[in-house]
Structure 1
């Protein structure tokens, strides 16, 4: 059985004028690689929906350059239109990444047939393996397990990232992975990392790992070493931290803010995301202190 792996859905760092701070973003890449994690860039925690086309292309190039082959890089190309998704995916294909994630179209309501056409067309257009990315709470479109099964048969669709948070859906995707060799399942929800890895997931893609890189890496390294007690202990810390932090508001904004309170170079999120608020900052600070961060 191949080793499990963790990806961190890396934050994108901004200057005060909301332009991207590539230097600070590279520093976050180094921090994650040092902890033993792989990188997903331009994902939900990377403010991808607030980035322009050209920024995503440059961001991907800078991240790949900074990683320098020391870890894997997956980048999200998903946009509402198949047309723009393909344009982005081709740029990422040219730069060279380990995988191209494609979030389900948002704003445009899709049938399952529409999703099959969307993902198939993108996967046909590039050489890099494509990963389906399901996050229905944010996009209002959901990849049904039967649809994932259909798409898994495509030679260039290598797996799925499940950020739905429903364990039964994750179990259904894992069943597809067992039935179709070469279709890997990555779990998104941070409370399910240990469970997913021990139940057949290839890995996880974590937003919370931005704040707790070592704890995330420890869950995975313990699972790989057969140390279930160690993995369970690290997962409990990770899960408790998640509950304490996320009850304060919108998770990606809170992850960014928690990082900011320890390293202001990461900057704020682009507007109109939640503005920094002294009361919330105090509450985040209390959580960070409670978890020795």
Structure 2
């Protein structure tokens, strides 16, 4: 029986060895860090650098995460590719591994119409048995899933919700309005700055990149909210907001998360895509870590 997707799911980094190859041993350690802090796992997402992983690596990453979690919490995997065909192909392999849900980013590089998004997601949801979450991140894809489109797709029995990473309170609220009107359609927040606001508005969970760096801080937003202590939940959110602002002032990319982890003594490897950190960036990140 699949586990309900709720609470904090860490958009876990994909660990590489010193040669830049996927390292299962290091991956297992990062999974354990998250479980220890009460967080679940979301693999092959933006912070997992899915855009520089091969198909076989995505499958292996998911396999390792599912095995290490061993049923103790939900595991969600991202399967979105640029085409409907390739997304379905990867999804069929990923669902065999025992994940509790998958997310699918909107197609990228080529502009698509809303009716084309409906075709894309419907075809994927029809082809898979694992529950599907839409993934809205227009700043990366160039394509926005409109709330009306999400409402239409919510009619599909295998589309259970959306992860909104548009980055604005307005976008989040629009999808929360959809969810509040459609039973069984859930919202997961993407930006770490909107976790608390999402929970207050009815979001069931958050997929957090910063939980890699500060798993306890991020989990405190959820834990205190669930226990009814809104003041402590909001205080944790404020702390996370400052962390986010300062960390992403160095390099606004998943590489900043990996660099922070490395400077914390976590062996996660170097990001594969070209990115450079100045001495000033390193000093800033070290100062952030010291405060944590």
Give the TM bin, normalised by the shorter chain: over 0.9
The structural deviation recorded for 1:281 is 1.4
Kindly provide the CA deviation profile for residues 114-141 of structure 1, in whole angstroms up to 9, marking residues without a partner as x.
1111111111111110000000001101
Counterpart residue number, 1:201: 203
Counterpart residue number, 1:248: 250
The structural deviation recorded for 1:264 is 4.5
SS at match of 2:47: helix
- Say if 1:190 and 1:206, in contact at 8 Å, map to a contact too: yes
Counterpart residue number, 1:44: 46
The structural deviation recorded for 1:253 is 1.1
Counterpart residue number, 1:78: 80
SS at match of 1:74: strand
- Say if 2:101 and 2:133, in contact at 8 Å, map to a contact too: yes
Counterpart residue number, 1:283: 284
Counterpart residue number, 2:126: 124
SS at match of 1:176: helix
SS at match of 2:96: helix
Distance 1:109 1:3, change over 3 A: closer
SS at match of 2:197: helix
Match of 1:30 among 29, 32, 47: 32
Matched pairs, number: 289
Higher share in helix: 1
- Structure 1 window deviating more from structure 2 (32-41 vs 250-259): it is 250-259
Structure 2 unmatched ranges of 5 or more: none
TM-score normalized by the length of structure 2: 0.96
Counterpart residue number, 1:143: 145
| 2:233 is the counterpart of 1:231 | yes
The structural deviation recorded for 1:165 is 0.6
- Say if 2:261 and 2:267, in contact at 8 Å, map to a contact too: no
RMSD (CA atoms): 1.3
- Structure 1 window deviating more from structure 2 (248-257 vs 123-132): it is 248-257
Structure 1 unmatched ranges of 5 or more: none
Match of 2:271 among 269, 272, 277: 269
The structural deviation recorded for 1:181 is 0.7
Kindly provide the CA deviation profile for residues 231-265 of structure 1, in whole angstroms up to 9, marking residues without a partner as x.
01111111111111111122311111100111251
| 2:23 is the counterpart of 1:21 | yes
Taking the aligned partners of 1:218 and 1:182, their CA distance within structure 2 comes to 26
SS at match of 1:132: strand
Distance 1:125 1:197, change over 3 A: same
Kindly provide the CA deviation profile for residues 40-82 of structure 1, in whole angstroms up to 9, marking residues without a partner as x.
0000000000000011011101100000011111100001011
Counterparts of residues 155-194 of structure 1 (less than 5 Å): 155-194=157-196
TM-score normalized by the length of structure 1: 0.96
The structural deviation recorded for 1:16 is 2.2
